[in-house]
Structure 1
């Protein structure tokens, strides 16, 4: 190669490097604001000192030890459901006490000690507190409906909800470790915890056997993992014995609200019934704790595939940086962000509902700004049981023959010939 060609090649490399450095500088500038805000959006790993203090307060109150704390049966037996208990754990104003008591007369509530410790760290009115503790807005709601998804109209047999051609839900219990204030099925909570009877579950299984197009079964509630180990094993075995059922899914919030439920015994059962997918519901980075990580690690080791279905909630996670921090934190504990659900207009929960613009703004600040693994699908559930509808920012400006005009994640308008012709 001649000296002239070598010099020209060197010049071109230098020019390309200059362009690359300029581009890198642009990209770095796009994340500066988030990096500045990130330190103010704590995840559960970053508040361990405060959490441990709150945990000790609860242990002292219940006169319990750490061994009891780690037992999920103890957690369930000691769910907090009385404002007098909360008043001894954290200072409440008279108005706050009155609101909790008033809501409690209309809507049931209960919080596991574990999640109560996180709520105490969050503080009254904080993002974890709002999910767990009743507020007066619940009884002011005059427009919400009890069953916005029409589940009672999409139940071909008792215990089954069917909204899609090849999959369905078995609703196995109304019990939860915590009754989330934004719950879409609060109409089912009632006054006592009730698992579905064996007769109802056998009827649901028979329906699946008779409908060979059903290849995917979601076991949910309430919380599917609040069934006993024996009941879970029986149900999974029955589903394994139906040839056309390819996968089982479990809907549970226990990794978030009571990670102590994830025991070696439970994981052994799950390991024996692959493939199993678990979708859980982390809604704020504070919920991503070392205890949640331990539970998720055990599930992953058992061969379970983990996904997260966050709910978009006003004053909890309807800011792009909060959702970004949540999704990035989830990936570190091997939970894949799967959906962001727009909150449904369930009676007593409308104070949580945001505008769709909030969801779109979040998606705009995820796509391109973070790993695609951290970008879930934003979903609005169509009313009356007509299913999930994805909602996306508009990225195709024009589509004409082989020529499309794209808007990139940086809002650059770029023509693109899909045939590759020029």
Structure 2
């Protein structure tokens, strides 16, 4: 296979079906429209990608996984091509997009569908205003692929067997209200355009959103957030109208003194290929500032060496490693979450391998709406019960926020305690009380 390099080549066998398909379709493979029109959305479509001897058992396992999943399946051929199908169960790319019933564990009792309470901090439909001077614009509820660990599983993508999605009204019908709120709230100087994924916005919509936001005199920073560069990089190089729209917004922002940036989402070095490098180089040459946000996941990037490689390779692409999140509380991914302790250890290992501005902050997006907290900034952390307690003095100064370690990282007694409602209530109150006492001492 000639279109993927480095880690991607090592990840697949030359005998694998997807390598053959990619070679045969090479002229189409590099086209974003072809990728999207050939996205896999059903289990039976995975058959030609699977190692034939194991396909039947694997497909049944996927069916059982999707029955529990909060996100529908949608995977581009590009991503399917990165999976090492001979190592199906352990492959770090497969783990992010294809759920297996055999690996799903009971979710932590503290799980809530909208764990970050985004809907509670939405003054108008489609806009989240949690931080004092920043707002999150949910411009679409669709993505080029669906990540199984998506924190916005309450609204993004198609309904699944376990979740009926909360639908928003058509974008144009709520845009006037969003713009009116932004103009009436000059304290907001930073807007993140997300969703869903802005890769699914038509060029005209992308351009209109960017230019309308630039017309608000109080806005000084605009960020377009997308996983697209990691899962559909050929959109940047083949959909010239879309890329031109992004560049036009960026250029217009620069002339007005407004920073426009592009936030990506890479989780593993395997995701960096020739396609990625070509897209990142094009954006860099056209003046787009890029940053990356990763999610820390067991079996994907919870190894210090993997995270170091990711940080280094992103830096070489002029993509600034920005955040590494611990997994949000999402149903069906308990086995993918990592403990606060492990996140702190990996952060220590990564810090110092490169310049500080290319060293990501490891954060917990605190359940309950406290926002992003440095993972090691807890007020209290009990490694036995796996409960960390954080403060968010600039967001909600009078509250404490808790983040639990995954159940499987705890002792059998601690797991049993969390599964007993009365004992779990005591664990929670004891942790909050301990954190509150330290808070009062300060």
Q: 1:72 aligns with which of 32, 38, 45?
A: 32
Residues 52/202 of structure 1: CA separation in 2 closer, same or farther (3 Å cut): farther
Question: What per-residue deviation string (whole Å, max 9, x for no partner) do you get for residues 67-112 of structure 1?
Answer: 3222212211111122222222112354432221123245311101
Structure 1 residue 255 corresponds to structure 2 residue 229: yes
SS at match of 1:177: coil
Unaligned ranges ≥5, structure 1: 1-42, 395-422
* In 1, Cα distance between equivalents of 2:86 and 2:122: 39
The answer as to whether partners of 1:122 and 1:129 remain within 8 angstroms in 2 is no
**Does the C-alpha gap of structure 1 residues 240 and 361 become closer, same or farther in structure 2, counting only changes over 3 Å?**
same
CA distance in 2, matches of 1:44, 1:135: 28
Task: Please name the residue that 1:241 is paired with.
Answer: 215
What's the secondary structure of 1:110's corresponding residue?
coil
CA 1:113/1:260 → structure 2, altered by over 3 Å: closer, same or farther? same
Displacement after TM superposition at 1:138 (Å): 4.3
Match of 2:92 in 1: 127
Distance, in Å, in 2 between the alignment partners of 1:128 and 1:264 is 28
CA distance in 2, matches of 1:321, 1:120: 20
Residue among 310, 314, 319 paired with 1:330? 314
The equivalent of 2:327 in structure 1 is: 343
Superposition RMSD in Å: 2.5
**In the aligned structure 1, how far is the partner of 2:130 from the partner of 2:218?**
18
Cα distance in 2 for residues equivalent to 1:324 and 1:188: 33
CA distance in 2, matches of 1:52, 1:66: 17
Counterpart residue number, 1:99: 61
Contact 2:192 2:222 in 1 (8 A): yes
Partner of 1:117 in structure 2? Answer: 81
Give TM-score scaled by structure 1 length.
Answer: 0.77
Cα distance in 2 between the residues matched to 1:121 and 1:99? 14
Deviation string 1:7-66 (CA, Å, 9 cap, x unpaired) is: xxxxxxxxxxxxxxxxxxxxxxxxxxxxxxxxxxxx952433766956543348xxx733
Match of 2:188, SS state, is coil
Matches for 1:294-313 after TM superposition, within 5 Å: 294-313=278-297
Question: Does the residue aligned with 1:187 lie in a helix, a strand or coil?
Answer: coil
C-alpha contact (below 8 Å) 2:294/2:325 kept by paired residues: yes
Q: Which has the larger radius of gyration?
A: 1
Q: Distance in 2 between matches of 1:258 and 1:268?
A: 17
Q: C-alpha distance in 1, partners of 2:352/2:216?
A: 42
**CA–CA distance in 2 between the matches of 1:210 and 1:98?**
53
Question: In the aligned structure 1, how far is the partner of 2:35 from the partner of 2:128?
Answer: 30
Cα distance in 1 between the residues matched to 2:55 and 2:7: 28
Query: Which runs of no fewer than 5 residues in structure 2 stay unpaired?
Result: 160-164, 251-258, 379-442
Q: How many residues align?
A: 349
Kept in 2, the 8 Å contact 1:145–1:346? The answer is yes
The answer to which of 308-317 and 83-92 deviates more is 83-92
